[in-house]
Amino acid sequence: MNIRDKVLVVEDEKSISGFIKAILTTNGFDVITARTGGEAFSMISSHCPDLVVLDLGLPDIDGMSIIESVRRWTQLPILVVSARSYERDKVEALEKGADDYITKPFSAGELLARVRVAIRHTRLSNVSLASTGKFTAGELTIDYDKHQVLIAGENAHLTQNEFKIVALLGKCAGKVLTYDFIMKELWGPQSKGNNQILRVNMANIRRKIEKNPAEPQYIFTEVGVGYRMVEGD
Amino acid sequence: MDKIAEKLRRYFPLSLKGWAVFLLSMLVASGICILLHEVTTSDFHAPLIFVLVVLVVSLLTDGYFYGFLASLVSVFAVNWAFTYPYMKMDFSIYGYPLTFVTMLAVGVAVSTLTGRVREQEKIRMESEREKMRANLLRAVSHDLRTPLTAISGSISALLDEECAFDEQERRELLRNAKNDADWLCRMVENLLSITRISGDSVQGIAREEEMMEEVISEAVMNFRKRNPGVTVSVSVPETLLFVPMDAMLIEQVLLNLMDNAVMHGSRTTKIFIGVSADADFATVRVADNGCGIDLRLLDHLFDGSLPLTGGRSADNTRSMGIGLSVCKTIVEAHGGTIRAENRPGSGAQFTFTLKRKGDEP
């Protein structure tokens, strides 16, 4: 008997809830649904799902408060569904503790990819990383032991800060990390606000590891939100 | 209390410019009177010159304040300084009340007129903007009906038990429905972009320093998802290029241009995006290897007349017109320009610029 991951979909629009459920069920997930924030609260605590897909535009309770209160007692992964133009919503959701977001309209492939990444990261995720100390994606290799980043076997000669940034992204590969999150990890909790230094560092990293900095294959920018590294092999 | 204060502020605004105009006119008029006094013996020029001063001051300043002030000061200037008896006030001489009333009347009348003209200007600009928005809304709403009809029709055919389609036909219907739905999404994004511009502030957009390569790469990734068969190559300068912009809007411009290249280039398989910059402007070129732009349309792409052309390919032309109209509005809101041309050989090229400095358009 197969054990299936349980996903709670919190969405008030019947048609959207319907198609998310259809896609996930066909791909090996058990899906339960909630139409309102109130239902979501009770179902999360009673069912303890493996992942919550949460639409931010719920009629009764602000999605943010659901994230906040869930985070008070569990690290269960939360995937937020947002509309395209509201970057502030996405950033706020991520800062309150959501793991990732997906933008409407999205395809079945995108949804599945984000769901898998989110669940994987809460398990003892990077099994391969733990055993070999290396992260690989395409021709990119992050060697955590030697503190090196290699492209097609050649050392990319990253500076210390540049390496820290790439290493952080690699540990959370597939997940989006906000500018603020990365800034705090590298430059401390007082570093919020002006993220120019991070963006300049990232532009230099791109020039060292990407064939064409305007067509990245490894580190993607989500403008206004943060960065995301491609999933490992 | 507030309302009275508000009214006072509107009708009697104080400003540096107002004081400057007032003082300068007074000085010039006084100067002329003094000069003329040396030349002729009669004084009748004085009140006339100061009536002119009142006229000029009312014309060049906002509100009634400076006009009134000019009238008041002019009366005293004329009476005390420039007419007999000199350096003395004398209200007994016949004609002074009339002079004073005339000046005041001129002051009030001209101030009112100039105020009204300015109001009209503002109203006219507002109505222009409203008209543009209404036109765009009408054109887009009209365009929304076609794909919706197609989607609804295709899916109802698939649901109809009496229609027997084979696997290929079913996939075709579904694929068309998906394409139409995607097109609808793009139109909605264009609409939202328009509201984003005309939303709050006068100039309309909130700009942040963004890295050109990041904005372009996000737009290209978005485009590639929906058009996997088209090759997009991007070239940016080696040095980091930061440009103040609303990233979402500029991405919309890029998406519209790339979508147009595919939808209207008829055989486009390659798109090329190039970026260059100087101290004042960043320039972005979007070129394709399609069939190019119909020469008859080339001169009218951005002037808003495109949505209205009729004919067999009216729908196609209309959607291109909307996308380009939105591009033009966004680019101009950034202080830039956009133009289109056909490439030597085949294919079209669109070039737009973005202002690099500060907030002034």
Asked if A191 and A183 touch (Cβ cutoff 8 Å), the reply is: yes
% pLDDT > 70, chain A: 94
A88 touches chain B (CB under 8 A): no
Phi, psi of A220 (to 5 degrees): -105, 140
B340 within 8 A of B301, measured Cβ to Cβ: yes
**B207, closest residue in chain A (CA to CA):** A224
On whether ipTM exceeds 0.85, the answer is: no
Closest CA to A84 of B224, B222, B177: B222
Task: Give the model's pLDDT for residue A124.
Answer: 55
Nearest-neighbour CA in chain B from A211: distance (Å): 11
Do residue A212 and residue B234 have CB atoms under 8 angstroms apart?
Answer: yes
Is B240 close to A222, i.e. CB distance below 8 A? Answer: no
Task: Name which of B196, B217, B248 is nearest A214 (Cβ-Cβ).
Answer: B217
A217 touching B (Cβ < 8 Å)? no
pLDDT at residue number B213: 92
Q: pLDDT at position B90, please?
A: 65
Instruction: Quote the pLDDT of residue B298.
Output: 80
CB spacing of B213 vs A85 below 8 angstroms: no
A216, closest residue in chain B (CA to CA): B217
Q: Is B240 on the interface with A (CB under 8 A)?
A: yes
Q: Which residues pair with A151 in a beta bridge?
A: A140, A154
Which is higher by pLDDT, A49 or B92? A49
Give tens-digit pLDDT for A147-180: 999 999 899 999 999 999 999 999 888 899 999 9
- Rounded CA-CA distance B342/B290 in Å is 10
Nearest alpha carbon to residue B350 among B260, B277, B278, B268: B260
Is some CB atom of chain A closer than 8 A to the CB atom of B248? yes
pLDDT at A229: 94
Quote the CA–CA distance of A113 and A105 in Å, as a whole number.
Answer: 15
How close B341 comes to chain A (CA, Å)?
24
B225 contacts on A by Cβ (under 8 Å): 107
Instruction: Count other C-beta atoms under 10 Å from residue B187's C-beta.
Output: 19
Q: Is the pLDDT of residue A129 over 70?
A: no
* Longest alpha-carbon distance in chain A: 54
Q: Cβ contact (<8 Å) for A200 and B225?
A: no
Determine, for residues B215 and A223 on separate chains, whether the beta-carbon distance falls below 8 Å: yes
User: Chain B contact for A224, CB < 8 A?
Assistant: yes
Contacts of A220 in chain B (CB under 8 A): 217-218, 221
* Torsional class of B339: left (φ above 0), alpha (ψ -120 to 50), beta (otherwise): beta
- CA–CA gap between residue A52 and residue A10 (Å, rounded): 7
With a cut of 60, say whether residue A204 has pLDDT above it.
yes
Measuring CA to CA, how many Å separate A160 from each of A47, A129, A205, B190?
44, 20, 11, 43
- Compute CA B150 distance to the chain's CA centroid, rounded to the nearest angstrom: 36
Render pLDDT for A91-103 as a digit per residue (tens, 0 to 9): 999 999 999 999 8
Q: How far apart are CA B259 and CA B265, in angstroms?
A: 9
What CA–CA distance (Å, rounded) separates A135 from B65?
74
Burial B280-315 (b: 16+ CB within 10 A, else e): ebbebebbbbbebbeeebeeebbebebbeeeeeeee
pLDDT at B309 (0 to 100): 41
pLDDT digits (tens, 9 = 90+) for A103-125: 888 889 999 999 998 988 776 55
Q: Return mean pLDDT, chain A.
A: 89
In this prediction, residue A54 carries a pLDDT of: 94
- The two beta strands, A29-34 and A5-10, are parallel
Phi/psi zone of residue B94: left (φ > 0), alpha (ψ -120 to 50 degrees), beta?
A: beta
From CA B152, how far away is CA B184, in angstroms rounded?
13
Mean pLDDT, consecutive 10-residue segments, chain B of 361 residues?
74 77 85 81 76 81 77 77 67 69 79 83 84 76 81 90 86 89 84 69 70 93 88 91 90 92 85 93 93 81 57 52 82 89 90 78 42
Whole-angstrom distance, CA of residue B6 vs CA of residue B216:
47
pTM for the predicted model, two decimal places: 0.73
Does residue B276 sit at the A interface (CB-CB below 8 Å)? Answer: no
CB contact under 8 A, B218 and A221: yes
> For residue range A206-218, what is the model confidence (pLDDT) as tens digits?
999 999 988 999 9
Q: How far is B199 from chain A (nearest CA, A)?
A: 14
The pLDDT assigned to A228 comes to 94
C-alpha distance from residue A31 to each of A41, A122, A158, B258 (Å): 16, 19, 44, 38
Question: Considering only CB atoms, which chain B residues are within 8 Å of A222?
Answer: 218
**What number of other Cβ atoms are within 10 A of residue A185's Cβ?**
15
| pLDDT score for B59 | 81
Here the tokens at position A139 are 């021709």
Strands A226-229 and A219-222: antiparallel
